[in-house]
A and B are shown apart, each in its own frame.
Chain A
Amino acid sequence: MLEVIARGTGEFKPPDPDGFRAHVRDHKERRLVSKLVSERDAVARFVSDGDYLAYDLNIAYRGPGSLFREVIRQKKKDLWVMAKFTWTDVSLLIAGGCVSKVDVGWMEFGPILNRAVKDGSVKLMEWSNGALAYRLLAGSLGVPYLPMRYLGGTDTFEQSGAILTEDPYTHKPVCAVPALNPDVALIHAHQADMYGNTRIFGAGVSPVEMAMASKRVIVSAEEIIDPLEIRKQPQRTTIPYYFVDAVVHAPFGSYPGSTQGLYAADLEQWLAFAAAGAMGKTDEYLENWVYSVSSHQEMLEKRVGEAKLQALRDADTLKEGYYD
């Protein structure tokens, strides 16, 4: 039995590796079947009110921008969101009324977030980017917790669900964090086939561990490729199909963020959201960019326009390493 020296007070979902195994046994598709669906169907089917929602990267950089907007469009409620290396996307989801809890690694702060914390409509739990990634790693390994060499000694630790314990091998104090198995993960990728075999090019945060650790996984992909292409270059596969529940074809799916090797971030659009938050005009912003269009495709056509999309493609001049 581990001796607990100190224990954080933050709320967390108790790790349940056996429950996760049972979920995999009963619900994860093993067959090679097409999982191609619209963003509307993917979010309607796989995101539920009250879910723990995780996503890789953020609204500035290869995040699932089109899926964020669909979650808001469908007015999902009471989500517990993982803010690991995030940006204004947490504020966007809060503005959409979707969030009740946030696990904080890093998020861009502003008036929307300040108000939600002060009026108690959103509760925060403190971790760090790396600690949340470690929790996903534990979740992806099928173990209940992992020891790690940080968090201890800080107020962050006090507001987290971490423990400080005596390590049974070295007999020195070590921090440990509970495994995290999100209900649903949103991951934006460069390419996927219809079965869910997914390729991500470039650096990132923890898409692999997140896909493995999550009960349901929605992948949005810039391009849907032939399954034979996957089998011809298996080393390029980031996530194999059986972890993935839905594949959504989403060109410019990270918009207004960038996808490396394809297009740059639309800074003006991103600043427009920050400005809307500062001026109390978030409702107008959501109406224009989310509610008044029925899909990501319609938003690109009516609100962004081909000229802007081409300019963003042209602004990302460095393809080396991504597509060669």
Chain B
Amino acid sequence: MADFRVGSSVAVIVDTVSADYVGPMRLQQHDRAALAGEAGEGPRLAMGLLVAAAEAMGADGLLDISGAHIDSCLYHGQAGLDFASLLAAAGARVAVPTTLNVSSLDLLHPDLYRGSEAVRVAARDQMDAYERMGCKPTWTCAPYQLLDRPSLGEQVAWGESNAIVFANSVLGARTERYGDFLDICCAITGRAPAVGLHTEAGRRASFELAVDVPAEWGDNELLYVAVGHILGQVAGTRVGLITGLDDRATEDRLKALGAAAASSGAVAMFHVSGVTPEAESIEHAIAQVVPVDRDRIASALAALGPSESDLSAVSVGTPHASADELETLAGLCAGQTTAIPFYVNTGRDVLDSVGDAVGLIEAFGATIVTDTCTYITPILSDTPGAVMTNSGKWAYYAPANLGVEVVMGTLADCVESAVTGRTITRGVLS
């Protein structure tokens, strides 16, 4: 044990692994040096946790990473703040370019926050601690929408389930499913466990999800949400190969698919035959074929958004809306006015990159939310009825997080419903 006093509730730091590690993993000399504290107290703590976690994951050793995305910056209680404060006070700095996920606060629109002052202060302290460690204040759950994103084969350590599945599946970058705490340990050490999705063998699909639906359904954004929701239910933690989709599965649609799959299951990677970069280059080992027909798609959508209550709000942009999605929304809502609260979540960098679209969306009466998301922090005004969304992820988590009922609709349904104040679900596949 090392006596290292920080903050209010942390008294004594219990070491996770000893400096003279004798476990089963082969560690490099510089890993051992970090473990022994030669790079300072911050890297020592980070390397200790990384080694313990890597061993639990069955890794033989560690590998170099070229970037990280940190989910740990979102406040969930004192433990996360204590951890961040401890590392920052111990002088930890990230060793690779590192982006930050959403937090509990919208720093660009601080008036939107309706939570307690105590939580606001704690959440801000936690955000500051990660900035002090050298992370970039990107505050987005969609770091793959930033200009600088990892490319095919690049080893990274990403947190945030939707970002993890996108990085692996759509970009072909290699990351395991990094939980809070471990993501920043990788960033500080510049190392990650050499295991699982970091290796070719870990990226093979073991089952096929065979989608067989009417051809025109491929033009409907909710098809991808439903396929993702079903994928998560079927996959557990397995990698799956989706067949029956085509190049209408754009990045934004794959984003929606992955986010839904990483909500209903622990999906960290999928392949789409003919679409994603490793679908054909990897030798899969398919042991099961799961058929998905139109009835299954329709019932998945009905299960995600079953509410028949009156509509009280709309929330879109989970994961954070891309520039294309903001442009599409602007086109749909131009010249109209929403009759109910309408929230659009997006990243601050994406918001900066779009021009007239922002003005059109604001003229419509929508509230633009950055740096956070409407399902993780108190932003929504009172919602006596249902909230409509086009996001499978939002639909999955909002009922438990916010206590709201959800109804699914396409982006066009969301706009039309908001203008009329009535639930309109023309686009929902059935």
Does A associate with B in a complex?
no
